[in-house]
Structure formats: C-alpha cells, structure tokens
Copies of this chain bind each other. A is one copy, B any other.
C-alpha cells in the first residue's frame, strides 16, 4: 500500500532532501508539492538534481487538494509554519520541520523566537520529534515537531548521560561545528561562498542560539531540575554535517557504557569503540549518527563527540523516520542509504 504525501516548502533544502530520501522509499507517493514563491515551476527547474523523478509541479499551498493526502511534511520557515498548519484540514497527519512546535511552553517560545505563538492549541498537542526518545508518542501523534538539527546532535550525545545521572549537570560545554546547509537557501551575505569558504567563526556566542530553548526544555525535564548547558555553534566551510564536541564531568568508561547500552538497538545511532572519533564525512548524506567517547587526561572528565548530517538525521531523515512510525511502516524505510564518501 502506498501512502500519499504532500510536502510544503518544497523549494528549500529540507524539502529537496525529503524528496531525495522518499525517491527510494517505495511506500510513499508524492502527491503534492507546495512552494508559494515558486508556484508554477517544476522541481527540475528549482532543483535540477531531482529532474529524473516524476514529480508534481510546485503549487501554491492554498491550492492543494488535501483530501486524499495521508501525511503532510511541512518544511516552511519558522512562523509561517504555524499559520499554514493551523489552516490545514484536521484529518491530516503532519510532520513539521520548522521550529514552531518544538517548545511546549508558549512563554519559552516567545522568549526565543520573539513573537507570541499563533497556534497555542496545536503547540500543546505537538509531540517532540526526537525519534528514539519519543517513539510511542510519535507513532500516534497527529502533529510531530521536528527538532533543531543542533538540538538533535547535542541530545544524542547527552540525554542518556543525564538520565543515568552519569555527568555533573552544572559543567556541560557543547561546542558545535555546523555546515552551511543548516542555514537554508536564504540569501545572506555571510552564506556566500566567497565569504564562507576558507574561514570559520562562532555565532550566537553566549549560549543564546534558539536551539538552547530545546536543550533547556529537554534536559531540565529529564533531570527534574533546571539544566543550563553552555553552547556555541560555529559555521564551518562544508555543506553538510554537525559535529558536537561535549565536555562533561564524569567517568569516561561509564559514559561510554551508558551510551552503548542506550543505543544498542537503535538502527541509526552508532556508538564507536571507546576512544575512537567520529567525523562528519562518515555520516554525510545518511541518517546515521556516530558517537565517540574519550577520557580526558584530567581524571573525572570526558569528551563525547557526536556527528550527523544536519539535512538528514538532523532534519529530513528524522522527519521521514517519524513519518514511517506514524504510518506504521518499518521505521528505517528509505533511510538505509550508506553515507556518500568521499
């Protein structure tokens, strides 16, 4: 049985990545592609790498007939997403890739995003889409909120450690190295090749990046007390990848064991042998996340490094994994592509 799906925001990178993954899925048919600014164009003209696929034309979102659609991916910009989703038919199951439904507390949302939430009821209903930790709720949810790509990476490194009380909650440093596709296809001077290539820098320094809201929400809930990590993302001259270097206080061997146990049965989370290091190049274009644990020479301290592809496991791959759960399909369908190296 083939499920009919729609993708809203198909002209952005996460939309294109969804199509790339669904192309070999087998159980999904792309019935509609919404992209208001490029309505009337073909995907072949917007993303020539998808020209071999037989896809519907891009159309305005309010002209899409959702009656036969089983599930809708919403890859729209933040704020737009909540407006569009509010207007979608209530039968529709939705996987949202924006930031709009990640934070459960409307006050936290407003604090981090600067505007009051326009769909508070939906916000309450939404399930946080970090698959491995919300699997059961996702399977039955109507609306799943995809996580931030940085937030996913950091949580894969740290959640089991917080849950197992294996690290000191007051000394967590999260230093992230992020590839540029995470910033999307927007026209900004600092995303130009000539600006970015051959250089790198930190941004949102001071733990003020919006994905902090997710770390605060998730880590504090897990610990049963407020947890405030230090988090600095850096923009790296590469297209895909997030590498999260986390500095923690705890016993490295125990930390490795906790992570290995936690992810033993996970198809996509791979804990490397103790002391080995992950690299973004080894997960590129795939839904895998590699995690390495090493002891610091200072006793009682450890470094946990996680690597994933921001567009795949950090965004569209996660979304497809959640959609598979919601449609009662094998969770890994369309997601077992090996990384593309070199």
Contacts and interface: CB of A to CB of B under 8 A. Distances in A.
Given A171-B171, A237-B236, A239-B194, A284 B199 contact: yes
A147 interface: no
A206 B282 contact: no
Interface stretch (A64-72, A122-130, A180-188, A217-225): A180-188
B240 A342 contact: yes
A296 B338 CA distance: 39
Contacts of A13: 194, 342
Contact of A192 (B187, B206, B247): B187
A201 to B, nearest CB: 4
A77 interface: no
Interface residues of A, number: 87
Given A281-B198, A303-B202, A336-B23, A181 B342 contact: yes
Contacts of A16: 341
A282 B171 contact: no
19 contacts: A23-B336, A24-B338, A47-B341, A49-B284, A52-B270, A173-B247, A175-B175, A180-B197, A187-B187, A197-B197, A198-B281, A199-B280, A201-B243, A201-B280, A203-B277, A206-B294, A206-B297, A208-B297, A239-B342
Given A187-B188, A203-B277, 4 more contacts: A49-B340, A201-B277, A206-B296, A284-B340
